[in-house]
Amino acid sequence: MEKKVLPLVISKKTAGWQTAGGGPWTHGTPSAATAGCHAAVDVSAFLPENSVSPPILFLFFQTCRQLFLLYFAYIFFICYLCAWNKRDFLNYKMAKIKTIGILTSGGDAPGMNAAIRAVTRAGIYNGFDIKAIYRGYDGLITNDIRPFTTENVSGIIGQGGTILKTARSKEFATEEGRKKAHDNLAAAGIDALVVIGGNGSLTGAMKFAQEFDICCIGLPGTIDNDLYGTDNTIGYDTTMNTIVECVDRIRDTAQSHERIFFVEVMGRDAGFLAQNSAIASGAEAAIIPEDSTDVDQLARFMERGIRKSKRSCIVIVSESPKCGAMYYADRVRKEFPDYDVRVSILGHLQRGGRPSARDRILASRTGVGAIEAIMQGQRNIMVGVRNNEVAYVPLSEAIRSDKPFDRKLIKVLDELSI
């Protein structure tokens, strides 16, 4: 087989792509014609007939090598991005947040001040500026926004109510109201908003976050304990203790006069306060919304023949526009005229007073948790405590109306009140 001799001429200009040890042609013999500034290599000995010419092979190998290097660089870049994404991307997002606004909204609850203190102090500790918004969402609309320092929250951990005041803003429920609120928020340089409040307030925060690109963090501040994703809400424990103290007092007079007392407690649509304060105060029954769908709770209670063993009794009734304590007292008066019946509506005294240690701790943990959440780049969540661990739950979940009610509590009360 005749072999072709292919003189390869590599000019100095193109020699740049030669390797130090020569290219794939360095095994050959340089031809005399190309001596001097040219190198000639005979590679024919290694090539079968009609094979691909060396420059093409060379280009092929070079391209493969470059493609491989490119691919390697690409993989390296992706890995780097992943690592960056986890750490620095979040830090980058967080770095955009410099100023945190804080407000309390809806019904006040004992422990709200402890939460304001915690958010303010943890925020400042971690390098944020804090701005306080007065009178809830109304303060955003009217631009009642003031810078806050650690001194502003000195000595408030044990105070009831809220030093920021609160409101149930009608205007914030409208699109125009929220737009105004957002304009003021932006003008004040607030990048994230911490809202301490109950169901309605966190629903407002969720809407606000959906409409405008703003990070909203909720803290569960309500005596009703009706927020999903946290075992207890800030204020619930204090209020329960207040109710128990009141019922203890009412029992003294109920026993003295041998009367049935219907004691109405707050809770809006939830019976947590009524059921648990009934257990804690040794009441004879609780009438709660969670148990009202298929049974006449009063009839069931009366059928138990409570009067056989006791001359007086206390029934805790969850507030309700139609079936509150008055409604049940009237029914007993009509259906059991022998009974001496009285009603006591505890009302707003349940919301006042110094927060319990439990509420102060819950407020402090969730306040610090709110700042941590912001630093982690979290948005639009509520910070709660579940199974003694700080937990983050999306606002949309937190406001669900079906927080699980432990029906075993009904059995506990029934068995212990014989």
Task: Answer for the pair 111, 362: CB distance below 8 angstroms, yes or no.
Answer: yes
Q: Which stretch binds ligand F6P (CB under 6 A): 121-129, 156-164, 220-228, 301-309?
A: 220-228
Question: Does 104 sit near ligand F6P (CB under 6 A)?
Answer: no
- Of 72-80, 174-182, 222-230, 399-407: span binding ligand F6P (CB under 6 A): 222-230
Does 266 bind ligand F6P (CB under 6 A)? Our answer is yes
Q: What angle do CA 145, 147, 151 make, to 5 degrees?
A: 130
Nearest Cα neighbor of 232 from 363, 394, 414 is 363
Separation of alpha carbons 186 and 91, rounded Å: 21
To the query of whether residue 129 is one of the catalytic residues in this protein, the response is no
Centre a 10 Å sphere on the Cβ of residue 362 and count the other Cβ atoms it contains.
30
Candidates 224, 237, 291, 359; catalytic one: 224
Beta carbons within 8 Å of 382's beta carbon, 6+ residues apart: 202, 217, 218, 219, 220, 227, 229, 230, 392, 393, 394, 395, 397, 398
DSSP-based helix, strand, coil % in the chain, nearest 5: 45, 15, 40
Between 21 and 321, name the residue whose CB sits nearer to ligand F6P: 321
User: Whole-angstrom Cα distance, residue 82 to residue 233?
Assistant: 37
Q: For residue 166, state whether it binds ligand F6P (rule: CB under 6 A).
A: no
Question: Computed from CA positions of residues 199, 205, 209, 212, in that sequence, does the dihedral angle turn out positive or negative?
Answer: positive
Q: Give the DSSP per-residue string, 115-156.
A: HHHHHHHHHHHTT-EEEEESSHHHHHHTT-EEEE-GGGGTT-
Closer CB to ligand F6P, 162 or 222, in the complex = 222
Q: Which of 169, 222, 344, 366 binds ligand F6P (CB under 6 A)?
A: 222
The count of chain residues that interact with ligand F6P, using the rule CB under 6 A, is 11
Q: Which stretch binds ligand F6P (CB under 6 A): 49-57, 264-272, 278-286, 371-379?
A: 264-272
x-marked contacts with ligand F6P along 326-365 as a string, rule CB under 6 A: -------------------------x--------------
Does 191 contact ligand F6P by CB under 6 A? no
Q: Which is nearer to ligand F6P, 107 or 367 (CB)?
A: 107
Query: Which one, 254 or 266, has the nearer CB to ligand F6P?
Result: 266
Considering beta carbons, is residue 138 or 224 the nearer one to ligand F6P?
224
Least Cα distance to 191 among 173, 169, 208, 216 occurs for: 216
Contact in structure between 315 and 328 (CB atoms under 8 Å) = yes
Hey, what's the torsion of the CAs at 195, 199, 205, 211, to 10 degrees?
180
- In the complex, least distance from residue 270 CB atom to ligand F6P, rounded to whole angstroms: 8
Site for ligand F6P in 194-213 (CB under 6 A): 198
Decide if residue 268 touches ligand F6P (CB under 6 A). yes
Which positions are annotated as active-site residues? 224
Contact footprint for ligand F6P (CB under 6 A): 106-107, 198, 222-224, 266-268, 319, 351
